[in-house]
Structure 1
Amino acid sequence: MRTSPQAGMGVIVEDFDPRADEDVQLLKKTIYRHKIVVLKDQHHDAASFLALGERLGSPQAYYEPGYHHPDVPEVFVSATAEPDGRQIGVPKTGRFWHSDYQFMPRPFDITLTYPRVVPTVNRGTLFIDLAAAHARLTPELRAAIADSSAVHTVRRCFKIRPEDVYRPVGEILDEIDSRTPPVRRPTVARHPHTDEPIVYVSEGFTETLLDADGNDRRELLLELLGATGQLDLDDPAVHLQRFEVGDLLLWDNLSLVHRAVHSDRTEPAVSWRVTVYDDAELLK
């Protein structure tokens, strides 16, 4: 397993052997150390892709079945259409800043993404390191959020399902709140594997901040999103990760927020995702 740094953030890994325990343990350490890992020259079907996730932790199928791979439900499918024209999964997912399962009681530790069909232009994933963002905060903003908590919900970014057509919006929102009620965590969380302080907010899933007395501080959330780089795609904190067929991306889902870049062309685009719990306590 050979590792080389890439510009901006993360490393490229070549000659990785998923059957070798030493390579798997080193890969996990590399993910937490460098945030993003790009495995080169990978060739997987859905079952072997899931098997790699199982070497790193405990994968879990996404709570909405419409995203599942038809044969391996733990594989999440984002696809405009398969090359043969079939629609599997959900098109153009994740076009907003978020961390996977940030709106759930326990977020995922590691995300694996395997691009299967890549458009010729305008395709990639944007990342921001929330641990680095915490280090950049002004003393004044750091003090303002010190005793606050963040409220996360999927409400704003929930994708309407085919069976939701003609349903009242209020009924759909009630279902969302029942299945995935808002969760509240400290605005500055500790990473369970690295102990780094993380500004754990996202433009997509964080609804508001609450101060120590429970007062709604949405204006403070907006200031914090701007300070972390989530309100300007040209912010220097934003890292664009390009990829090609044969690449497999893995990242630290707890310290990074990400946002998909989708082509506006009619070209097919297909990627698979596996998300993993790494035997850690809840993000605290």
Structure 2
Amino acid sequence: MNITPLPLGFGAVIEGMDLRQAGPGSAKLLRAALLEHGMLVIRGQSLTPQEQIAATGLFGSLETFPTMRGQLDGLPEIFRVASRPEDGHVEVGRYWHSDGSFRAEPTPISFWYSVLQSDQGGDTLFTDLQQAYAELQPEIQQEFAGLQTAHRNGVVHPLVLKHPKTGIPALYLNLGLTGGVLGVGPERSQALMQAVDRHYSRPGATYRHHWLAGDVVVADNLHVAHKATPIDPAARRILNRTTVRADGVIWPDEAGGTAGRLAA
């Protein structure tokens, strides 16, 4: 297995890995790489839904979801995203967000597997939340560090969220599900959220993933956010998503120095 960092300063490409055959040594290295880089891109996989569940289990215990139209019977761990309603959930996440931020204990890790892809459209954007905070002016960092946000379901999170393993602060905001910033007026709240939205999208800060069939992307939701882009509903596209529970995540003992390392 070879690990090559992406040039943006976050994310890494994993080569020479068949996730169906990942043993304890490879799993340990993958977890360390995810903690270090925030996002992993692994192309050329061939996973059944059951094999995706097993591969996601390398990172911890999985969340489950209710069975709905387009979802897979008997596999509540799979959340299927699609361009057509008969294939899964449509029009999902076209704003900056981290999966599971509506939970009191946010979802730490998401794992996507590309089942079927169209040639055009449906790319996913990723941005580094830790770097987004680091690039703020010190006075803005200080202001933001004292603020909290409320989801529409009442769940409250700090606007600056420290990673539970590394302690590194990140600018954490779900632009679609957050009702507002607490302790400020509606106009100031809206202005702050719009400013964060623009900051996430600043030039040079985003990675755009063009999906190919067999692609896997794994994201640390407390390190990076993502955003879907439109796809023609006439095209057929399916992504299977699995997620790791906050109370079941397996963080490595430490991160650092994974780039270019090999594992048998």
TM over 0.5: yes
C-alpha deviation, 1:272, in angstroms:
0.3
**Cα displacement string for residues 256-276 of structure 1 (whole angstroms, at most 9, x for unaligned residues):** 111112323611011100001
1:200 equivalent to 2:172? Answer yes
1:5 aligned partner = 5
Question: Counterpart of 2:118?
Answer: 119
Q: Deviations over 1:135-179 (max 9, x none)?
A: 1111232222232211123xxxxxxxxxxxxxxxxxxxxxxxxxx
Q: Is the CA contact (8 Å cut-off) linking 1:210 and 1:217 kept in structure 2?
A: no
Unmatched 5+ stretches in structure 2: 251-264
Q: CA deviation at 1:94?
A: 1.4
Please tell me whether the aligned partners of residues 67 and 76 of structure 1 are also in contact (alpha carbons under 8 angstroms).
no
Does 2:124 correspond to 1:152?
no
| Matched residue SS, 1:277 | strand
The answer to whether the aligner puts 1:105 opposite 2:92 as a matched pair is no
Q: Where do 1:225-244 residues align within 5 Å? A: 225-227=194-196, 229=198, 233=201, 235-244=203-212
Indicate conservation of the 8 Å contact 1:37/1:250, yes or no.
Answer: yes
Structure 1 equivalent of residue 71 of structure 2? 68
Q: For 2:214, which of 227, 238, 246 is the aligned residue?
A: 246
The answer on whether the counterparts of 1:145 and 1:187 sit within 8 Å (CA) in structure 2 is yes
Per the alignment, residue 258 of structure 2 pairs with: none
Is 2:232 the partner of 1:264? yes
Distance 2:28 2:56 in 1: 12
* Alpha-carbon shift at residue 250 of structure 1 (Å): 0.4
Asked whether 1:219 is paired with 2:204, we answer no
**Counterpart amino acid of residue 204 in structure 2:** P
In structure 1, C-alpha distance between the alignment counterparts of 2:18 and 2:120, rounded to whole Å: 31
Larger mean CA deviation between 141-150 and 57-66 belongs to 57-66
Write out aligned runs for 1:151-170 (5 A): 151-153=150-152
With over 3 angstroms needed to count, the CA separation of the structure-2 counterparts of 1:221 and 1:139, relative to structure 1, is farther
Please list the CA deviations of residues 177-203 of structure 1 after superposition, one character each: whole Å capped at 9, or x if unmatched.
xxxx31112221110122110111121
Give the whole-Å Cα distance in 1 for the aligned partners of 2:238 and 2:169: 34
Q: Give the share of equivalent positions with the same residue, in percent.
A: 26
Which stretch shows the higher mean deviation, 198-207 or 38-47?
198-207
Contact 2:123 2:229 in 1 (8 A): yes
Q: Residue 32 of structure 2: SS of its match in structure 1?
A: helix
Give the count of matched residue pairs: 246
Q: Does 1:36 align with 2:39?
A: yes
Selected match of 1:23 from 20, 26, 34: 26
Q: Retained in 1: the 8 A contact 2:109–2:243?
A: yes
Q: Which residue of 2 aligns with 1:275?
A: 243
Contact 2:175–2:197 under 8 Å retained in 1: no
User: Where does the alignment leave 5 or more consecutive residues of structure 1 unmatched?
Assistant: 154-180
In the TM superposition, residue 74 of structure 1 has moved relative to its aligned partner by: 0.6
**What residue in structure 1 maps to residue 87 of structure 2?**
88
Determine helix, strand or coil for the equivalent of 1:48.
helix
SS at match of 1:55: coil
CA contact (8 A) 2:82 2:236 kept: yes
Seen in structure 2, the aligned counterparts of structure 1 residues 33 and 102 have a Cα distance that, compared at 3 Å, is same
TM-score (norm 1): 0.78
User: What letter corresponds to residue 41 of structure 2 in structure 1?
Assistant: V
8 Å contact from structure 2 (residues 70, 86) kept in 1: no
Q: Report the counterpart of residue 181 of structure 2 in structure 1.
A: 209
Instruction: State whether residues 59 and 275 of structure 1, in contact with CA within 8 Å, keep that contact through their aligned partners in structure 2.
Output: yes
Q: Distance in 2 between matches of 1:204 and 1:230?
A: 16
Equivalent residue in structure 2 for 1:58, among 49, 52, 61:
61
Residue-by-residue CA offset, 1:195-238 (whole Å, 9 max, x unaligned) = 11011112112221123xxx44652553354246357x564322
Indicate the larger mover: 89-98 or 187-196: 89-98
